[in-house]
Amino acid sequence: MSAPRVLLGVAGGIAAYKACELLRRFTESGHSVRVLPTASALEFIGAATFEALSGQPVHTGVFADVPSVPHVKLGQEADLVVVAPATADLLARAAHGRADDLLTAALLTARCPVLFAPAMHTEMWEHPATQANVGLLRERGAVVLDPASGRLTGKDTGPGRLPDPAEIAELARLLLERPTALPRDLAGRRVVVSAGGTREALDPVRFLGNRSSGRQGYAFARVAAQRGAKVTLVAAHTADLGDPAAVDVVRVGSALQLRDAMHVAAKGADAIVMTAAVADFRPTSLVGHKIKKSGSADPPPLALTQNPDVLVELVGAREPGQVVVGFAAETGDDTGDALHHGRAKLARKGCDLLVVNAVGEGMAFEVADNSGWLLGADGSETVLPSGSKALLASRVWDAVAARL
């Protein structure tokens, strides 16, 4: 199978330097990448840098290598076009069909998925002209990401920051896996996602925890935000994951803290997705000092008490029309396989949808990909084939959107 052919457009903004990190991620993932910078982008990053990282020539105009007709051929042959950063000027030229350099000409000939990652000052992003151009591009089928909020050029802070290159790469992979994964069908909806593993303190040093990295929950939040939803992410302990763009993040530690945050966030939400791995038990008491070894004697037994079932509580308190999605990490045993146990859990929990993951070494936890089954309270069962965690999230959001 040939490597996916990606065109990486780079417009002339200060965030152009981040395109080098994005390019590295594409090439290390086995993609064949051709960089198409604008002339302004080369004021920030030299052509030699892009050529060295991509192994491909870099041109800005349509008169380079004329015999191969690159302004037509590059777009025709591409599997994906990503423009990062996409400045206000680039979005305007793309929306109005300009073809005054190699990048905009290639955008006109591309028939593959096209992803724009905007980066500009807040006032420029929020200007009616830019919003009209974004709307026009989305109407035509392009994916225009909502930007992140944070530090901009100088002392300014606000929406308009380029999403993290790792996030752009994840969404780009999603479009290669499933070009229809990011419709704006959640616009106007408010959703709540939990992610990561809770930690139950034993003493100031130790805790009871689990192997959840939070990647699946972050993928749910990231995909929902780029499908137009207003997203609250209640994040327990996770791997070193950057905050998803256009997502409000609430950080918690223990199961009880997560429970409180979820009940607050769930009020008025259209959908709730409980991907967090919540500890079933916690110590009955917290020791105020580090528990020391006492010679060769065994430590005293650890007394545990059961944590509340947050998913069951959310199902019991759900508002009319609210869709609740649960997760079940299961293994097979003498009584049945993972899917059998998932069906039983759906009946116990009472949620609308339940994602069942078979877990084990190299499966579900601490890995990039995921698979499983999506079970519905209406008796439906859908296989979720192996792919990125964003792909699994996109398929579940399809089912949620159909129920809203």
Instruction: List active site positions.
Output: 210
| Residue 180 CB-density burial (10 A; 0-12 exposed, 13-18 middle, 19+ buried) | exposed
**CA angle, 302 then 206 then 303, to 5°:** 15
177 three-state secondary structure: helix
CA torsion angle 387 393 395 401 (round to 10): -170
Tokens 């909502």 belong to which residue?
146
Rounded to an integer, what distance in angstroms lies between the CA atom of residue 267 and that of residue 263? 7
Token pair recorded at residue 242: 């950057």
Tokens 């939990």 belong to which residue?
194
Rounded to an integer, what distance in angstroms lies between the CA atom of residue 338 and that of residue 329? 8
Rounded to an integer, what distance in angstroms lies between the CA atom of residue 259 and that of residue 74? 51
Rounded to an integer, what distance in angstroms lies between the CA atom of residue 164 and that of residue 91? 19
251 three-state secondary structure: strand
Strand partners, 151: 157
Could you give the count of Cα atoms lying within 13 Å of 150 in the half-sphere of its Cβ? 16
**CA angle, 128 then 132 then 134, to 5°:** 120
Strand partners, 231: 191, 247
The residues near 332 (Cβ < 8 Å, ≥ 6 apart) are: 338, 340, 341, 358
CB 113 within 8 A of CB 175: yes
36 three-state secondary structure: strand
Q: What is the pairing mode between strands 369-376 and 381-388? A: antiparallel
Q: What are phi and psi of 176, to 5 degrees?
A: -70, -35
176 three-state secondary structure: helix
